[in-house]
Structures are given as C-alpha cells and as structure tokens.
Homo-oligomer: A and B are copies of this chain.
Amino acid sequence: MGRKSNAKERIIAAAVRNFWDRSYGSVSVDNLCEEAGVNKGSVYHFFTSKSAIIFASIDAWWKDLQGSVIEPAFDPEIAPVQRIENLFRNMSDYQKQKQRDWGKVPGCPFCNLGSELSTKDDDLREKIDDIFDRYKVYLASALQDARDAGELSGDIKNITDAVFGCLCGLILQAKIQDDPAIIANLIPNLRSLITNSGNNPPG
C-alpha cells in the first residue's frame, strides 16, 4: 500500500557509482540526491544515515561483481587453475570497461572502502572481511579441485590468501597506474604461484 517509488534503487545506483569512483568521504548525501534526482528527505526516508547507504552499496557491488566477474570465471566445466586465470582475465577486462565508462580505472570498491574506513568503523571492516570471505570461497574451491587432481600440494588457505592478495594488490596497481592490463599480466605466472606453492624448487 501507499505510494510506489524506485527512489531507493536510484539512490543506491548513485551511491554505487559515486562511492566507487570517488570515495566515501568525497561524496556528500547532497551529491547523491542530485544524481539520483531525489530530495534529501527521501534519502532519510529509506536510509537511517549516510553510513547505511554505504552498507547497501556493498551488497550491490557484490551482486554486480559476482554476476559479471566471479561466476563466469568459476565455471566448474573449466580446469581448476584455469578458472583462477579467468578471474584475473575477467577482472582486467572489467576494470578496462569501467575505465572506458568512467574515464579512470576505479579499482576494487571493497578494497577502496576498506583502505579508507576500516580502521575507523569496525562494523564496516567486518562487512568487508565478510565479502572477502565469500570471494575466497570461490578460490579455495577451485584450489581444492586442483589439489584433488594432484596439481598442488601446499596449504589451501595460505595459497588462497596469496592469490587473493595478489588480485587485490594488482587491482590497486592498475588503479594507480590507470592501466588495467597489469592485472592480466600476472596470468602467465599464476600457475606456478599456485602449483609450486610451499615447495622449494631444487637449485
């Protein structure tokens, strides 16, 4: 009952865009109002605070990333290590697309936000930690499949952290150098990072 509206979605869309390519601190609620074509009262009708908007953005970012980058990469038909290679390839392409659309490589929204605010807001830190865990489930599963196929012997958790760390770090490098190719450049080295991990090669 009552009145119908897509204002909430418009506000989230504006938040997703602006908090990503600028930052939390650089974007005001008024900025979001303007971009969403909404009055301030409407924002505070749907959200209790600016902080609540960022939590909604995180969920929206995750859905987008999961649908357009992660799920397509982790096709169980594909060989396990290649799934991870796909993740880096897809992420590189995804950042390239954003660069075309927005003029700059925006980096990883979770990493950006975590870098900016995780020491200030522990709930936010935990939320991002939680997103990272969901992310790593995909990696750990592929790595487990690789292990079952006899392709690696190291500790799954450690390799997961290493690969995920690499991914986040390279996305940041891509942002700072405004060059998405940096992410894809790891791909030739990825297999040896994964499969040789924990083994000291002879020599």
A interface with B by C-beta (< 8 Å)? 21-26, 104-107, 111-112, 114-120, 125, 128-129, 132, 150-151, 154, 158-159, 161-162, 164-170, 172-173, 175-178, 182, 185-186, 188-189, 191-193, 195-201, 203
Complex Cα–Cα for A201 and B193 (A) = 11
Complex Cα–Cα for A116 and B23 (A) = 6
Residue pair B193, A192 in contact (C-beta under 8 Å): yes
Give, as a whole number of angstroms, the nearest-CB distance from A72 to chain B.
22
List 17 additional contacts besides A112-B116, A129-B176; criterion CB under 8 Å.
Answer: A23-B115, A104-B119, A115-B175, A116-B116, A162-B170, A162-B189, A165-B170, A165-B182, A165-B186, A167-B169, A188-B197, A189-B198, A192-B196, A192-B198, A195-B201, A196-B196, A196-B201
6 interchain pairs, CB-CB under 8 A:
A23-B120, A132-B176, A165-B166, A189-B198, A195-B203, A196-B196
Residue pair A197, B189 in contact (C-beta under 8 Å): yes
Contacts A116-B115, A158-B188, A166-B165 known; A176 to B125 CB distance under 8 Å?
yes
Contacts A132-B173, A161-B170 known; A111 to B120 CB distance under 8 Å?
no
A104: B residues at CB distance < 8 A: 119
Identical copies of this chain, number: 2
Residue pair B22, A159 in contact (C-beta under 8 Å): no
Write the chain B residue with the least CB distance to A175.
B118
Complex Cα–Cα for A191 and B178 (A) = 29
Contacts A165-B166, A189-B197, A193-B192 known; A119 to B175 CB distance under 8 Å?
yes
A186: B residues at CB distance < 8 A: 158, 161-162, 165
Residue pair A22, B119 in contact (C-beta under 8 Å): yes
